[in-house]
Structure 1
């Protein structure tokens, strides 16, 4: 059974009001007020000086104790990406990080097919790879989170989210005593593959489908785990916006207080990293206790809906 051996996170030190972050990006004052009052965004974290590889290494530093002396056990390094291109050509951040960590023996690759849900896909892929490894102590290292470069689609998503640069590094193993993955459900609705550049009609259809499709994968994940939604202590969501989660809460009758939204106003939507940022904060604040069942949930533009159930 696949487990999370450890999760480390990193937030750039500078907190930026979204008014400042969106300045010069053809976003009206009315849209900024919508992001603040309706969608719940206040500040984001960004570092204009640090490269993606720098921020990945800062995140990996949080796993130093867990990795020390076990470097040879790391079989795979996976960068889970929202966007197909993580850095300007010809740089390759994940390979730079592999060398810096002394893990040149590890097979290293990127995944990006599920957009912001690719972090959960990476956990599933690593679990399958480790299950086939002859060494029961083999490990995989997954990185999530990206730079919000000056391109339009990397700064914000229209009427949806403001992008931040929080990152996570996840050490994955085949067996363990905590944070076991009990199930994974994912569905792709390919008619929306051109998002965020949908026609007016398709955009309306996606907005209508969204809570229904997300509810379907949440229920599928808890069913596959042999549980019900009542058994889930906490949902650790992606940070598209708080309004979408309020709609989902009503759709499935799940208390909004058990959907962890505390980080959304202060970190923004950090690509694939949101559920893992929320995991660390939930652990540090006592919101997750040993034995609790919890769920990570993400939706990627395209449109992929994913949910994964764990036992803490």
Structure 2
């Protein structure tokens, strides 16, 4: 694969939060068959759910994209493509959400690629797509902008049978083989090959077997990078709860303490924003240090799993072309 570097990123979470007890009460009142009790959900490490009350989805996207695009413009980075992922917005209007930004930054002719079907594993799919693109002859200074944003419009977008979903947005700028930033040394996607729907028994089946797909993805990524799991300082995973991380730690033979858990209680699960939010939080708290090797793992409902190994070289948000 061609090494991809995350040279810039941005995360937006709303200030407003509601307690999981209130969120569960709301979705049940609206007819969602939520099958986890308040106490069970709290025991998984969840406490609050971010709720966007002021910005619409287009404004959330602009909030994370505008600072990245401004810095890219200053450094003469040419945006070659925009990759967009939204679990809650699937009404084929994704391009419209980016039109004003495209006008502002002269990106009207840039390909806009909406990714669906991969649920909360889309960040790793975007890394794989970017790697394939950068293997082709391309101009110096080209970058790919990855955007993900979700804002639940109703209780059926706020939850499924077992999980609550928060609102949030994030974006990342990918470039080929940069010396500074979040270097991606290997990235792998795996697919179950099974078909899931929203029937509770099928969802339960998924949650009880998905770790097998994650293990395959992790093993393939380690093989591709030539690294051993003991070299990984931190694991940033989709925020699915401490019970899931404990299972994965056992299967992967990784100490549970390496799974980054400091955003779980306050931020919960925010679809594809989880991983960038966790990385950003770890950098700001000083727990992710320069030259650390770390692993990212994404789990997408429907049987999609992503894994990548990265090296944190320097603070991002400082483009080095």
- What TM-score does the superposition give when structure 2 sets the normalisation length? 0.87
> Residue 49 of structure 1 is aligned with which of 44, 48, 54?
54
**Paired residue for 1:142?**
146
Task: Indicate how the Cα distance of structure 1 residues 84 and 54 shifts in structure 2: closer, same or farther if over 3 A, else same.
Answer: closer
C-alpha distance in 2 between matches for 1:289 and 1:231: 14
Matched, 1:285 2:289: no
For residue 281 of structure 1, give the secondary structure of its aligned residue in structure 2: helix
C-alpha distance in 2 between matches for 1:53 and 1:304: 27
**Paired residue for 1:212?**
212
**Paired residue for 2:169?**
167
For residue 127 of structure 1, give the secondary structure of its aligned residue in structure 2: helix
Q: Is the 8 A contact 1:18 1:43 kept in 2?
A: yes
**Paired residue for 2:247?**
247
C-alpha distance in 1 between matches for 2:174 and 2:258: 26
For residue 196 of structure 1, give the secondary structure of its aligned residue in structure 2: coil
Task: Indicate how the Cα distance of structure 1 residues 86 and 263 shifts in structure 2: closer, same or farther if over 3 A, else same.
Answer: farther
Task: Indicate how the Cα distance of structure 1 residues 230 and 196 shifts in structure 2: closer, same or farther if over 3 A, else same.
Answer: farther
Task: Indicate how the Cα distance of structure 1 residues 305 and 91 shifts in structure 2: closer, same or farther if over 3 A, else same.
Answer: closer
**Paired residue for 2:126?**
122
Matched, 1:184 2:187: yes
Q: Is the 8 A contact 1:127 1:172 kept in 2?
A: no
Structure 1 residue 131, shift from structure 2 partner:
3.3
C-alpha distance in 2 between matches for 1:261 and 1:225: 25
Q: Is the 8 A contact 1:86 1:146 kept in 2?
A: no
Task: Indicate how the Cα distance of structure 1 residues 119 and 104 shifts in structure 2: closer, same or farther if over 3 A, else same.
Answer: same
Q: Which runs of 5+ in 1 are unaligned?
A: none
C-alpha distance in 1 between matches for 2:102 and 2:87: 20
Residues matched between the structures, number? 305
- What TM-score does the superposition give when structure 1 sets the normalisation length? 0.89
Q: Which runs of 5+ in 2 are unaligned?
A: 313-321
Task: Indicate how the Cα distance of structure 1 residues 298 and 196 shifts in structure 2: closer, same or farther if over 3 A, else same.
Answer: farther
Structure 1 residue 203, shift from structure 2 partner:
4.5
Task: Indicate how the Cα distance of structure 1 residues 83 and 190 shifts in structure 2: closer, same or farther if over 3 A, else same.
Answer: farther
C-alpha distance in 1 between matches for 2:94 and 2:236: 35
Matched, 1:301 2:307: no
Q: Is the 8 A contact 2:210 2:303 kept in 1?
A: no
Alignment of 1:57-136 (within 5 A): 57-63=62-68, 66-70=71-75, 73-83=78-88, 85=90, 92-136=96-140
**Paired residue for 2:256?**
256
C-alpha distance in 2 between matches for 1:4 and 1:138: 13
Task: Indicate how the Cα distance of structure 1 residues 235 and 195 shifts in structure 2: closer, same or farther if over 3 A, else same.
Answer: farther
Moved more, 219-228 or 66-75: 66-75
Moved more, 215-224 or 276-285: 215-224
C-alpha distance in 1 between matches for 2:14 and 2:66: 14
Q: Is the 8 A contact 2:77 2:141 kept in 1?
A: no
Structure 1 residue 95, shift from structure 2 partner:
3.2
Task: Indicate how the Cα distance of structure 1 residues 233 and 61 shifts in structure 2: closer, same or farther if over 3 A, else same.
Answer: same
**Paired residue for 1:6?**
8
